[in-house]
Structure formats: structure tokens, C-alpha cells
Structure 1
Amino acid sequence: MTQGIHGTVADGFEAVREEFATFVAGERPDYEGQLCAYVHGRKVVDLWAGDGCEADSLYGVFSSTKGAAHLVVALLIQDGTLEPDRKVTYYWPEFGAEGKAAVTLRELLSHRAGLVGLDAGFTRDELADDRAIAERLADQRPFWRPGTAFGYHALVIGALTGEVVRRATGRTLQEVYEERVRAPYGLDFHLGLPEELEPRFRSVQPMAPTPEQQAVLDSVPQGPHTLSSIAFNTHVPEPGELVDYANSRAVRASGPASAGGVASARGLAGMYAAAISELDERPPLLKPDTVAEVGQIHSTGYDLVARAHKSYGLGFQATADTWYPFLGAGAFGHSGAGGSQAFADPRAGLAYGYTRRRCAFPGGAAPENGRFVRVVHGAALA
């Protein structure tokens, strides 16, 4: 066992442990992180490092939460409960105000609705409450003509699609997720963390950017009412810090479906393994046609919010185009602002999850994921 590294890898995945150990050795002493992967439903990587970090430690995973939210939507589409090409107003009539009547569920899921935030912004209490977010957005005029462009609906997409789920099923997205995904597999990926699991939560810590990273941050246009500031709710008088969101008990308790999830790497990877593979003697949650549809690119090109090239599937990030071009076509998942990453590559049978305690820069999946994903994927193919 490499000093400071805990856990196991399957035969053929020794290089993953070596890569993880090399990275950890070069990090600051307070590094904490977990790495887990499945191949065809078999756990092949289960590693963690850092004082206080255990295999079942739980971390705020920010937008990796969107993967859980949209797995629920995928299941409901597969059931026939939701139809992606129906107008959102079929399920949620109030949504049609201010020029949004023609928006389809497919356009909403692929970040094409133009409803990235509110002119007036949200309060901190509202950001912990998906129902409140959805109610306020129903009366908001889109920031671009729906369907003509796309931009990341960072803090609101889970609330919007969650309201569609609630109207169609009579239950919250979080309740459907608990019943159909988390509980059957015992996954440590929670949309609403029970009080009794709080001792396992490791509070998210800030990290100062390097000069190179700060230059990237400084290059992003600033202003009180840019699309980016509205989408990330930084145009309000007291926006708070990124870490405040995950460290809020109110957020963890309610599990907002855009970014309020709490998970271990085991939980992240296990969810995607359940989605595409037989796991615990259960068939895959998603049928091949559904896997193909959610992984198919729906929006690609210039993201008006991120101001960069991005690609989205049906509610998920198109992981190969957005992050790791060596992955199989149709890989789907979602990263998180703190550095977490989680996805499935159906062609390789691979499910991947990574968490870390200190937030990464410049945002999204931590850079080290590129190293880990490449060696895990190579081992999986071998």
C-alpha cells in the first residue's frame, strides 16, 4: 500500500493507484480526495487519501448533482411519464408566461430555454428551495429567444426540471430519486442529507487560485448584470462565497437538484454504474435507447453563460466533447464546481466518480481528473 493512499484496485488497474499516489504526493498536506470506478458493474478502483478522509466521507458535489436529477428525468422519459418533445406548459401551465409558451422539455433539458436566473436575483433561502426557484422563474422573461442559443442554467436547471417532475408525478424529484435510484442500491449520493449522516460530511474548503488560474478568472467579463453573474446569482448585494452553499445545512437537508447534492466517490460512480450496467443483480436502470438519447449531443458550440465551447446531452454534460475527447461517443455525466467529476462511458462499460474537499480552479472538474480518467479508461479498455 502506497503511503497515504488507502483502498484497493482490481488486477490490471494498478496504474490508477500509482497515478493517484503521484498526484497526492505533489499536493498540499491538507489534500482530501476520493476516486472510484466501475467497469461493467464491477468496482475496480476504490481509493482515498487525506487526514480525516474515509471511504464513506461525504462531500458537497455541487453541479455533479445534476447527473442524479437528470437520471430521474431519463427514467421518467423511459417510462413514458415524460415526453421530451412536449411543451413544458403541458405539465406546468404557469411556465408559459413572458414568451416561454413554446419551450419544450427537450429544449429546457439542453439549456436552451434562456431562463438562467432572475433579474432581481435569489435570496440564499430561495437557493435552498427548488419550489421557490421554480415559482419565481415562471414569471421571468428569457434572456434570449428560447431555442436559438444555449447557456448553462447553473443554479436553476434542477429546479425547473424538478417542477416538471412534480407536476407530472405528484412527487418531488428528490423523492423519486430516493425511491428509484438511491435507496435500492444504498448509494452514498444524497439529494437531501439525513441529519444522522451529518457526522460523515466534510465541510467544503476554499482554495486560493494560483497566479495562472487567477489570470483565467480575471479574463471572464465582470459586471453586475452579465449573463454569467445572473446565472450564478452574483449580481445580488450579498452573494456569498461558493463554499457557503455546500456548507449550508439548509442546502444539504433539502438537496436542491441543481447543485445541492452530497456524495462520496463511491456514490457518484455507483449511480452511473447502476444507470448503464447490471449492479447488485439488478438490470441497468436505463435501456440502451435511453442511454443513447441522453448521451446524444443536443447543444454544442458557444455557451452564452460560460463564454466558452460546451456540449450538453439531454440534461447531462456530453463528457467526451466537454472534458475528455478520448472517451467513447455518448459518454454522459456532470462535473461540479468544487472539482468533483462523475460520468458513464457506455461503450467502455465505465462509471467514474471523484470528490475532493478543497475547491478547484478555475471551476468545474478539477484538473487532475484528466490524469485519472485517462489511466482508468485505458485500464478499462485493456
Structure 2
Amino acid sequence: MNAIEIHGTVADGYEQVLAEFAAVVAEENGESGAQLAAYVRGRQVVNLWAGPEVTGTTLTGLHSTSKGAAGLVMALLIQDGALDIDRPVAHYWPRFAAAGKEQITVRDVMVHRSGIVGADGGFTVAELADEQIIAERLIAQRPWFAPATVHGYGGFVMYAILGQVVGAVTGNTVQELFEQRVRAPYSLDVYLGLPEELDHRYLPITPWHATPEMEAAFAANSPNPHGLAGISYNLNARGFTAADVMSLPNDAKLRRLGQGSVGGVGSANGLAQMYAAAVTGIDGRPPLLTLDTIATVSAIHSAGTDLVRGAQAPYALGFEAKSLLHPFLGVHAFGHTGSAGSDGFADPHSGLTYGYTRRRAAFAFNAPENARLAGAVHRAATGTALTAAA
């Protein structure tokens, strides 16, 4: 078998990251195509890519890694003092106050304690692309568990709710604010709403590749379509499958509208640069977020067993609490992964920011190589010999 060619650069001292990335790509036989990027205190230290058709500027679907981009908009509104997250959602969006949802707060939604993980009957792909349609459906929806008591991931619906709040406060959409305040000022390759003229840079997510044994194991343990996980992942919609979850960003309408929960498009370098702009600043510019805001949004809110995703799904305010997923990171590390395997995060303690994408969907909603790659980058950045968590 021919060696897979690795492209890009690493800074001096990051050669171990190149070796780890090459090993990950080799294990995939180069089929998935992948990008890896990292910044340390605003300086790019890793920019690697490999695989058929993949370049350093390839864009692909981010799935729930999109929530990290949308989360920065929420963080900025909190920082501005424009949003009181402890008010009920219905204070901003009165029609939400129905079917037992009167007291659900903005904070509850941001940390997945709202009880609203999906809707009766699920959504079509066309409906999932449009947050306004989702929001209308959620008005009559009762919570699936008692709000503010436990947490369960609102995978596709989170920003349909928060988008209504943002619109009421600012008169803008989350997508418009992300473009104006985050993406455009830094020319980031992360989009909540991919312009049609950039569609030629988009490479579709391809289906996962698994052995018959892996497929059988997944079938035996796949979510009940009418259980909480099935509802959150929209498997309660007629004819909707796990494969449809993975291929969602391939829908042109969803990419164009940039659904804040799952509709983002970007590159690994775009993700790492976005988080660098947020916490350390880049190109001599100050960070988007103050230290107080970073402390606020990175505070751990929901840990333990997520009723949808299981044990490994801790949340900060609008983000995943990355220190509980990767213990080598500082307690204020925050970001978000995506179901096909993409990931992005910031570790304010070390000044490290990270981005990863893969074109082929990771098997069974997971890309375990992120722990290996993030660990390698962190060891290089900090000069430690810590071992990445499995």
C-alpha cells in the first residue's frame, strides 16, 4: 500500500503532531480526508491536511461543531449586557410559553436542561434546514423531561429556540451577527450560511466505512427512534436514518441558511483561528471575549449522564466543557464537536486553540482520534509528557 501524502506545515517542536496526524490518516487508509490546525496565543503552529480532493482550504460540513460558532454570538451578547440568560425564553419569545414551557430559561436551553430535545413526529430534511419552521413546531411541544432537573442534548433544535431570543433582543439573526462580529472581521473560513459563490469549495460528507461486525454492533445498540436519543437525533421522523444525520450538511438549503445547531461549514484552520480570535486575539488584535466572559461561558453547568448522549457529554454555557472530555486541558477549556467527527475548542490556560475536520463520517457519531490529536498538540504546546485521554 502506498504511503498517504501529508500536506501542510508544523512549527518547530510540533513534529510529533505531524507524526500523530499521519498515523491517524494511515489508519483510515486516507479514505476520509482530514484537516488539522492549531494556534497557540494567536500564532498558527499546525496546519495539516491529507486525502483525496482535500486541501488546506477545503470546506466541509461541521454538524454540531456549528454550535461553537453560534455560541460565540451568545457570548458576545452576554458580554454586551444585552441578554439576561436567567429570564424565561418566553420573556423574549412569548409564544414559547405553552405546554409547560413557561419557566424554561435561556440558560436552560444553553446547557441542555430545557427538556426540548426534538418534536413529536420529527422533521424532514427541508424542515431541519429552516430554524423558523422548527421554532413554529416547538411552540406546542411539551418538554420531554422536567426542565432544569437533568440534561439531555437538544441536537437539532437548540438554535431554533435561541435564534428567536436573539432576534427579539437585537433584530438580527444569529447568522447575521456571526458574519458581522466574528467571521468577516477576521476573514474566517467558518460560515453559518455558506455563500453560493463558495459552494465549489465544499466537499460533501461521505458515509462512514465500517466492517460488518461494526455495523452489526451499531444496529444492536442504535437509538430507539421513540426514545430521547432517537428524538434528539430526529430518528422519530418517518424514513429518517442515522446516515441522514451524517449527510445533513450535504443539503444545499441547510448549508445556505446556516442552521446554528448543525448547518455550519468550515475548515480546520477556520475553526482554530475562530477560537484564537475569541480568546487570545490574532494579527495583533485583542480577543473578542474578555476574561470575565470566558469565565462565564466556560463554567461547567451540566456533567454526569446526558439523557441523550450518555456519560461523555458535559456542557458549559453554550459549549461543551472540554476539560471533562480531555483532562489535559484547563478547567476553562470550551468548544464543540460534531457528529461526523469535526471538533474545535479553546484552552485559555495554555492559549491553545484547535480545529479538526474529516470528510468521511466517523463511525457511530464519534471520532476518537480527536483525543489523540488534541493531546499531541497540547504536549507540544506546553512541553509536557502527558498522555492524551483515550
C-alpha contact (below 8 Å) 1:36/1:352 kept by paired residues: yes
Q: Please say if residues 30 and 50 of structure 2, whose CA atoms lie closer than 8 Å, have aligned partners that are also in contact.
A: no
Mapping of residues 141-220 of structure 1, within 5 Å = 141-210=142-211, 213-214=214-215, 217-218=218-219, 220=221
Q: Does 1:265 align with 2:268?
A: yes
The CA RMSD measured in Å over matched residues stands at 1.6
| Aligned match for 2:328, one of 326, 330, 354 | 326
**1:62 corresponding residue in structure 2:** 63
8 Å Cα contact 2:207/2:247 also seen in 1: no
| Amino acid aligned to 2:218 | L
* Stretches of structure 1 lacking an aligned partner (at least 5 in a row): none
Matches of 2:225 and 2:60 in 1, distance apart?
31
Q: What is the match of residue 346 of structure 1?
A: 348
Q: Quick one: structure 1 residues 266 and 131, their matched pair in 2 at CA, closer, same or farther if it must change by over 3 Å?
A: same
Query: Is 1:307 matched up with 2:313?
Result: no
Residue 236 of structure 1 and its aligned partner are, at CA, apart by 1.5
Q: Does 2:277 align with 1:279?
A: no
Conservation of the 8 A alpha-carbon contact between 1:152 and 1:305? yes
User: Paired residue for 2:249?
Assistant: 246
Find the residue that maps to 2:304 and give its secondary structure: strand
The offset of 1:113, in angstroms, is 0.4
Partner Cα distance (1:155, 1:230) in 2 = 10
- 1:370/1:49 CA distance change after superposition, 3 Å: same
SS of the aligned residue for 1:139 comes to coil
Q: Distance in 1 between matches of 2:345 and 2:212?
A: 30
Gaps of 5+ in 2: 384-390
Q: How many angstroms does 1:11 deviate by?
A: 1.2
Specify the code of the residue in structure 2 equivalent to 1:278.
Answer: G
C-alpha deviation, 1:64, in angstroms: 0.1
User: What SS does structure 1 have at the residue aligned with 2:64?
Assistant: helix
Return the offset for 1:3: 6.3
Q: Is the 8 A contact 2:61 2:249 kept in 1?
A: yes
Once residues 209 and 318 of structure 1 are traced to their aligned partners in structure 2, the CA distance between those partners, rounded to angstroms, is: 29
Cα offset, 1:87, TM superposition: 1.6
The amino acid of 1:194's aligned partner reads P
Whole-Å separation in 1 of the counterparts to 2:216 and 2:147:
33
Deviates more, 1:111-120 or 1:23-32: 23-32
Q: CA deviation at 1:25?
A: 2.6
Q: 1:42 to 1:222 in 2, by over 3 A?
A: closer
What SS does structure 2 have at the residue aligned with 1:97?
coil
Aligned with 2:303: secondary structure? strand
Cα distance, 1:145 vs structure 2: 1.1
167-176 or 118-127, which deviates more? 118-127
Aligned-pair CA distance for 1:244 = 3.2
Which residue of 1 is the match for residue 337 of structure 2?
A: 335
AA partner of residue 277 (structure 2): A
What amino acid does structure 2 have at the position aligned with 1:332?
A: F
Distance in 2, matches of 1:356 and 1:235, equals 27
Partner of 1:124: 125
| Inter-partner Cα distance in structure 2 for 1:302 and 1:31 | 30
Tell me if structure 1 keeps the 8 A contact 2:67–2:318.
yes
Alpha-carbon contact 1:294-1:316 (below 8 Å) kept: yes
Find the aligned partners of 1:197 and 1:157 in 2 and give their Cα distance.
27
* One-letter amino acid of the counterpart of residue 299, structure 1: S
Matched residues in 2 for 1:3 and 1:246: separation? 27
Q: Which amino acid aligns with 1:359?
A: A
Percent of aligned pairs sharing the same letter: 51
Tell me the TM-score normalised to structure 2 length.
Answer: 0.94
